[in-house]
Structure 1
Amino acid sequence: MKTGPPALFPLFRSELQARILARVALGGGEESVAELASAIAEDPGNTARELARLERAGIVSSRRVGRNKLVRVNKTAPFYEPLRDLITVVLGPATVLAEYLSACDGIVLADIFGSWAARYRGEPGRDPADIDLLVVGNPDRDDLYDATQEASRRLNRPVNPVVISESRWDAAEEGFIMELRSRPRVPVIPAGRDGS
């Protein structure tokens, strides 16, 4: 089934293309076409056709291992870093997490922190292996776990939530909370007030 461009950012040819690009550019690993199709909940045939287009454009590269075709983002392409940056901003973890966390009641504020937020805010360093998620409020732990696990699968990297009650966050007396407040954070669910 052909889908139109994603409503969030219609630069991409289709929603399928956007999901594939987010997975391969932000996940950083190599996957078979079948694994990728399963991860983004898409038909393998449609996924393979879109990957062929992306490979012709030099955005992804592939190799054969037995009967499997393994694909990964083409990090040698001259446009790799700007494209990765664009995908990170438009389709990255903050957007994906916001989508999944919207179903969780009891969240007052949610921000990405740690190395991913630092890279996003321009601090140099190694590519982050996981995503640290600050959740302020009192969400149902099972709902939060389910949401972050789904986001982890879609992003192809672990999401590690840290839950802090609203009163602890507002008091800001603990060293860990003061450190969180002073370091880069990327909003996922902005607070109804300042939130910093």
Structure 2
Amino acid sequence: MQQPPPSIFPIFRSRITCAVLTHTYVGDTENSVGELAEAAETDSGTMAREVSRLEQAGVLSSRHVGRTKLVRANQTAPFYGPLRDLVTITLGPAQVLAEELSRLNGVEEAAVFGSWAARMRGEPGPAPVDIDLLVIGRPDRDDLHEATARARSRLAREVNTVVITRARWEANEDGFIRELHSRPQVPVPIPMGDGE
């Protein structure tokens, strides 16, 4: 059964399409079909069909290394630049923030919350104007400000950051923290070993 696309920007066909576009167009990375299936929380067969559909449309290109099919954005397509920008702005905040925050020390965990996360998790509502970022840890404030400024430039949206210590987050005692725990979040996938 096809799952509906997130309501963040409903021109995309499905949640799986959104995952493929995010992982291939944001940062221009190359991924195997298996990696894309894992990222989209689907099986390899379903992902292979989606990749094939997007290849036929000229959105993706692929190559084989042994028995592994590697997929990336089709950079020769005439719509490549505009589609990359659209995907980055509408679907890419978590990925863009991960790239920027991975350079920092003291970031233990991060997530997008607020209206953007709610739309990505399927809650109806107006398109978000800005991005709300939760950072758990003790990063240098100046470094964090510079990282979010770079993300803001790439996303063409304001990034509002809340920094909370691990102890305060886990205590979950005040109303604001309880509210954050109860609302939709989209994890920012900071690579292990970075931001420590």
Q: With the length of structure 2 as denominator, give the TM-score of the two structures.
A: 0.58
Number of the residue aligned with 2:145: 145
The answer to which of 103-112 and 16-25 deviates more is 16-25
Number of the residue aligned with 1:182: 182
State the distance in 2 between where 1:130 and 1:15 align. 31
Number of the residue aligned with 2:133: 133
Deviations along 1:45-78, whole A, 9 cap, x unmatched?
xxxxxxxxxxxxxxxxxxxxxxxxxxxxxxxxxx
Which aligned pairs between 1:1-196 and structure 2 lie closer than 5 A? 6-8=29-31, 10-14=71-75, 20-25=82-87, 27=89, 88=91, 92-189=92-189
User: Partner letter of residue 93 of structure 1?
Assistant: P
Q: With the length of structure 1 as denominator, give the TM-score of the two structures.
A: 0.58
Task: For residue 21 of structure 1, report the CA deviation from its aligned partner.
Answer: 2.3
Pair 161,15 (structure 1): closer, same or farther in 2 beyond 3 Å:
farther
State the distance in 1 between where 2:80 and 2:178 align. 37
State the distance in 2 between where 1:140 and 1:15 align. 40
State the distance in 1 between where 2:83 and 2:76 align. 10
Number of the residue aligned with 1:30: none
State the distance in 1 between where 2:164 and 2:76 align. 35
User: Partner letter of residue 7 of structure 1?
Assistant: E
State the distance in 2 between where 1:177 and 1:96 align. 25
Task: For residue 24 of structure 1, report the CA deviation from its aligned partner.
Answer: 3.3
Q: Percent same amino acid at aligned positions?
A: 51
Pair 149,15 (structure 1): closer, same or farther in 2 beyond 3 Å:
farther
Q: What is the number of equivalent residue pairs in this alignment?
A: 126
Deviations along 1:85-114, whole A, 9 cap, x unmatched?
xxx2xxx11111000000111011100000
Structure 1's unaligned 5+ residue stretches are: 28-83
State the distance in 2 between where 1:114 and 1:15 align. 36
State the distance in 1 between where 2:134 and 2:177 align. 10
Pair 22,174 (structure 1): closer, same or farther in 2 beyond 3 Å:
farther
Task: For residue 183 of structure 1, report the CA deviation from its aligned partner.
Answer: 0.4
Task: For residue 170 of structure 1, report the CA deviation from its aligned partner.
Answer: 1.0
State the distance in 2 between where 1:161 and 1:18 align. 31
The answer to which of 180-189 and 110-119 deviates more is 180-189
Task: For residue 166 of structure 1, report the CA deviation from its aligned partner.
Answer: 1.1
Structure 2's unaligned 5+ residue stretches are: 1-27, 37-70
Q: Secondary structure at the match of 1:103?
A: coil
Task: For residue 26 of structure 1, report the CA deviation from its aligned partner.
Answer: 5.4
User: Partner letter of residue 149 of structure 1?
Assistant: A
Task: For residue 14 of structure 1, report the CA deviation from its aligned partner.
Answer: 2.4
